[in-house]
Amino acid sequence: MKKYKEIIIAIAIIVIIILIQIIIFRTRTDVNTNNINNSTNTLLENVEENEEKELENEKAYSMQNGGKFAKIGDIIIYNNSTDKIYKYDCKSEKLDLLYTMEDGVDELYFDGDYVYVMPNYYRGKGIYKIDLQGNAEKIYGGASIQLWITDDKIYFTDQIGYDRINGTPQGNMCVMNKDGSNKQKIIENVKNYFKIHNNTIYYTDLNSRSIYSANIDGTNKKELAKGRTYISNVDDNCLTYVDFADNEAYRVIYLNSNENHKLGDFGNDIFSEDGNYVFTRKILDENNIETEFSIFKINPENNTEEVVWKANGGLERLSYVDNEFAYLSSGQVTYKVNLKTGEETDLPKRYYYYLNGYGYAFGDVNGEVTSVEICELKTSQTKEVEVNANL
């Protein structure tokens, strides 16, 4: 009898152990499944966030930058310095002639639905609104040099003349609806180009040549810097500009304190998610500057600047900054510089347009676009498409 009891107890123990192992296995499986699900959800959320951020970057660039190139989503709008405006669909790899401007193209803007174009200001006047089927409407008849497109408004300079010294247009800053209605003047006597950031307008005054800030409706004007100034860039922390009264000195204003620092003479700058950089010839003393250009990184945390790379000479231009790499162009060559190590690497060709980690180049034969090349800058891998043109 005792022996049977021992056997029963042993069997019971084995059953209990098996049940415990099953529970542990199921628990681990559930935990692993939850971890996998959580990891998958996090990955999808990160992808969606990146896609949203890229789309925001494209909209900001295309609606505010002006020039010859714009891109939102799969649609690229491009003008090859002729009278023709092209639409390229990255998904279908199809090129269309969107519209031909009788008086040429000065600058174009794109909001995803419409292209807004100003003709060459030596040949014509007006602001044109063109849909993606090529239907055009002239929504404003006066001359202008710059647009700033928002979701529901167009800010622009209504040209009233030219600067006698350097020939740039000037006028009154206005705002109107995107169909051209309800035009209102908000700031008089604006010179050169303006910037809008956080509902604040930054502009150069025509009479004093000083830089001012103002509310989006033109009120509460404040002088930020004197000189013969030309605004370059602005963000939450600082504003960069060139002072032509001081031998084209490159300067930065820190907006939290209005500190004004002179970095060098001549050059250009890039504001990016990886930081703000100025490419200029460093000042040695009151009468001397360096021969080579340097890249300064702006440090808004303590209102300072530091040289992170020095060029070897030549006529480079800073074109883009992304993932701690700076991209510079000289002649028909583009090369990238690792801003941590200083290592330089040539790219396959010169890219004239940069956005969201890609460089873009367009092939042209006898004034017609024949190919589109896209370079992933991180890997230097390129994709060239002989366009399926519908011209």
Q: pTM of the predicted model, to two decimals?
A: 0.85
State phi, psi for 100 to the nearest 5 degrees. Answer: -115, 120
HSE, CB side, 13 Å, CA atoms: give it for residue 17.
6
Per-residue confidence (pLDDT) for residue 195, from 0 to 100 = 96
Residue labelled with tokens 């200083």: 342
Strand, helix or coil at 91?
A: coil
Per-residue confidence (pLDDT) for residue 313, from 0 to 100 = 73
Report residue 48 CA to chain centroid gap: 20
Average pLDDT along the chain, 391 residues, taken 10 residues at a time:
59 67 61 59 63 93 96 97 95 95 95 96 91 97 92 90 64 95 94 91 92 96 94 96 94 96 95 94 88 95 95 86 92 91 92 96 92 93 81 56
Write out pLDDT tens, residues 241-281: 999 999 999 999 999 999 999 999 999 999 998 899 999 99
Alpha-carbon gap, residue 114 to 132, rounded angstroms: 6
CB 280 within 8 A of CB 264: yes
The strand ranges marked E within 111-150 are 114-118, 127-131, 136-140, 144-149
State phi, psi for 242 to the nearest 5 degrees. Answer: -110, 135
Cα dihedral value 44, 48, 50, 51, nearest 10: 140
Alpha-carbon gap, residue 24 to 186, rounded angstroms: 71
CA distances from 151 to 59, 113, 173, 237, 354 (A): 10, 11, 18, 24, 23
Per-residue confidence (pLDDT) for residue 227, from 0 to 100 = 93
